[in-house]
Structure 1
Amino acid sequence: MRIRSQFVRRSAAVVAGLALAGSAAALGSLQASAAPSSVQAVQAAATVAAAPTISIKADRATAKAWSKVSFTGKTTGIAASTKVQVQRLENGKWVTFPATTKVTSKATYSVWVQSGRVGVNKFRVVTSKAASSAVSITIVK
């Protein structure tokens, strides 16, 4: 009888061990199937976080006609050597201004303009992926 009870206990232990192993395997497969979507969620969040941006800052708010006004800025999500184009707001439309530069390896840019158009001039910089906000420069005679 003692042999039989040991056999029953050992058999029960083996069955319990197999059950635990089976549930662990099932849990592992659930985690494995969940892992790709977790990775995809992180990648999607990184993509959203890395939306291309470009900033603009003018070295002055007022300038004499035809004097140089420098614009500088920083970029995110825009590759080095990407073309940066200056635009001016004319009659409600952004018009390409004859001033370009390229994004540096430090994700910055620097460009200057000259304008003879007296009054408030609004400028921005654009790349193929992003546009900055506008800055106002008052040009005086």
Structure 2
Amino acid sequence: MMVLKRRSLRTAVVGVLGATSLALAGTAMAATPAAHTASHVGAAHRAQPAKAGITATPSVTSVRAWQLFRVTGRTTGLKAGSTVTLQQKQHGKWVTLPASTPVKRDGSYSLGVKLGLKGKNDLRVVSSATASPVFNVTVH
């Protein structure tokens, strides 16, 4: 009877150890692909270029008609020499004005502007598909 109990105990211990090792192996195998995928995603994320952006600040918020003022700003993600252009909202549509300048090596730009439409003018600076936030200049 004693031999039978030992054999049962030995079988039970071997069964528990076998199940535990299979569970641990499954956990290790499940963790390995996830870790590999995470490092792969991180590498792909780092390889993406910086998102393009433009800032724009007018030198004044109010001017007389046809008075010269400046719009300055910085760009990110645009190559030096790229052209930035001023746009004005007219009747609900963005209209490109004849005011453009190339981006400098440090990403900055400075644009001379004269406006003739009296009232509040919604303006923005664009380059390709990238646009600055809208800013306002009032013309008297």
TM-score (normalizing by structure 2): 0.70
Q: Given residue 122 of structure 2, which amino acid in structure 1 is its aligned partner?
A: K
SS of alignment partner, residue 41 of structure 1: helix
2:24 corresponds to which residue?
Answer: none
2:4 corresponds to which residue?
Answer: none
**Cα distance change on mapping 1:61 and 1:46 into 2, 3 Å:** farther
- Cα deviation for residue 43 of structure 1 reads 3.5
Show structure 1 runs of 5+ residues with no match: 1-26
2:85 corresponds to which residue?
Answer: 85
Asked whether 1:106 is paired with 2:106, we answer yes
2:10 corresponds to which residue?
Answer: none
TM-score (normalizing by structure 1): 0.69
SS of alignment partner, residue 105 of structure 2: coil
2:130 corresponds to which residue?
Answer: 130
SS of alignment partner, residue 45 of structure 2: helix
Question: CA deviation digits over 1:98-133, x for unaligned, max 9?
Answer: 100011000011101111111111110000141001
- Deviant stretches of 4+, over 6 Å: none
1:41 corresponds to which residue?
Answer: 42
Distance, in Å, in 2 between the alignment partners of 1:91 and 1:125 is 18
Q: Given residue 120 of structure 1, which amino acid in structure 2 is its aligned partner?
A: K
Q: Given residue 74 of structure 2, which amino acid in structure 1 is its aligned partner?
A: K
Q: Given residue 54 of structure 1, which amino acid in structure 2 is its aligned partner?
A: I
Question: CA deviation digits over 1:61-108, x for unaligned, max 9?
Answer: 000110012100011111100010110000111000110001100001
Once the two structures are superposed, the pairs formed by residues 1-141 of structure 1 within 5 Å of their partners are: 34=36, 38-45=39-46, 47=48, 50-140=50-140
SS of alignment partner, residue 133 of structure 1: coil
Distance, in Å, in 2 between the alignment partners of 1:45 and 1:94 is 35
Show structure 2 runs of 5+ residues with no match: 1-28
SS of alignment partner, residue 80 of structure 1: coil
Distance, in Å, in 1 between the alignment partners of 2:129 and 2:107 is 14
RMSD: 2.5
Q: Given residue 107 of structure 1, which amino acid in structure 2 is its aligned partner?
A: G
Q: Given residue 137 of structure 1, which amino acid in structure 2 is its aligned partner?
A: V
Distance, in Å, in 1 between the alignment partners of 2:76 and 2:128 is 13
Distance, in Å, in 1 between the alignment partners of 2:47 and 2:64 is 44
